[in-house]
Amino acid sequence: MSHSTATGVGEPAAPVEKQDFIRQIVRQDLAAGKHAAIRTRFPPEPNGYLHIGHAKAICLDFGIAAEFGGLCNLRFDDTNPAKEDPEFVQAIQDDVRWLGFEWASLRHASDYFEVFYLAAEKLIAQGDAFVCDLSAEQVREYRGTLTEPGRNSPYRDRGVEENLDLFRRMRAGEFPDGARTLRAKIDMGSGNINLRDPALYRIKKVAHQNTGDAWPIYPMYDFAHSLGDAVEGITHSLCTLEFEDHRPLYDWCVERVDLAGSPELLAPLLAKGLPNEAARPRQIEFSRLNINYTVMSKRKLVAMVNDGLVDGWDDPRMPTLQGLRRRGYTPAALRLLVDRVSISKQNSVIDFSVLEGCLRDDLDAHAPRRMAVVTPLKFVLTNLPEGHAETLSFGNHPKDESFGTREVPFSRELWIEHDDFAEVPPKGWKRLVPGGEVRLRGAGIVRCDEVVKDDAGNIVELRGTLDPESRPGMEGANRKIKGTIHWVDATRAVPAEIRLYDRLFSVADPDDESEGKTYRDHLNPDSRKVVQGYVEPAAADAASETHFQFERTGYFVADRRDHRAGSPVFNRSVSLRDTWSATP
Q: Give 324-383 pLDDT, tens digit per residue.
A: 999 999 999 999 999 999 899 999 999 999 999 999 999 999 999 999 999 999 999 999
94 Cβ neighbours under 8 A, 6+ residues apart: 322
C-alpha 143/C-alpha 139 separation (Å) is 6
C-alpha 360/C-alpha 577 separation (Å) is 9
Q: Which residues define the annotated binding site for ATP?
A: 45-47, 51-57, 240, 288-289, 296-298
pTM of this prediction? 0.92
pLDDT value at residue 17: 83
Dihedral of CA 319/322/328/329: which sign? Answer: positive
Is residue 57 within 8 A of residue 240, CB to CB? The reply is yes
Instruction: Give the Cβ contact number of residue 546 at 10 Å.
Output: 17
Is residue 79 within 8 A of residue 272, CB to CB? The reply is no
Q: Give the chain's domains with CATH numbers.
A: 21-109+223-287 (3.40.50.620), 113-219 (3.90.800.10), 298-368+495-575 (2.40.240.10), 372-486 (2.40.240.10)
Closest by alpha carbon to 167, among 239, 226, 232, 217? Answer: 217
pLDDT value at residue 272: 87
C-alpha 116/C-alpha 200 separation (Å) is 10
Mean pLDDT of the chain: 94
C-alpha 401/C-alpha 461 separation (Å) is 36
Closest by alpha carbon to 109, among 135, 86, 80, 130? Answer: 80
Is residue 560 within 8 A of residue 326, CB to CB? The reply is yes
Strand 405-411, strand 569-575: pairing = unpaired
| Residue 345 appears among annotated catalytic residues | no
List 168, 288, 378, 471, catalytic entry: 288
The strands making up 217-219's β-sheet, listed across from edge to edge, are: 129-132, 181-184, 199-203, 217-219
Q: Please compute Rg for the chain using Cα positions.
A: 31
Is residue 540 within 8 A of residue 555, CB to CB? The reply is no
pLDDT value at residue 584: 40
| Residue 45 appears among annotated catalytic residues | yes
C-alpha 482/C-alpha 431 separation (Å) is 8
List 23, 39, 41, 45, catalytic entry: 45
pLDDT value at residue 356: 97
Helices (H) and strands (E) in the chain, counts: 14, 29
DSSP code, position 4:
-
Is residue 462 within 8 A of residue 536, CB to CB? The reply is no
| Residue 288 appears among annotated catalytic residues | yes
pLDDT value at residue 275: 84
pLDDT value at residue 7: 36
List 156, 256, 298, 560, catalytic entry: 298
Q: Which residues define the annotated binding site for L-glutamine?
A: 77, 221
C-alpha 540/C-alpha 373 separation (Å) is 13
What dihedral do alpha carbons 44, 50, 55, 58 form, nearest 10°? Answer: 20
Q: Low-confidence residues of the chain, pLDDT below 50? A: 1-12, 582-584
Q: Which residues define the annotated binding site?
A: 45-47, 51-57, 77, 221, 240, 288-289, 296-298
pLDDT value at residue 14: 56
Phi, psi (deg, nearest 5) at residue 212: 65, -130
Instruction: Using DSSP, state whether 496 is helix, strand or coil.
Output: strand
Closest by alpha carbon to 394, among 466, 446, 442? Answer: 442
C-alpha 60/C-alpha 287 separation (Å) is 12
| 245, 496, 544, 567, 577 from 553: Cα distances, Å | 48, 15, 20, 20, 9
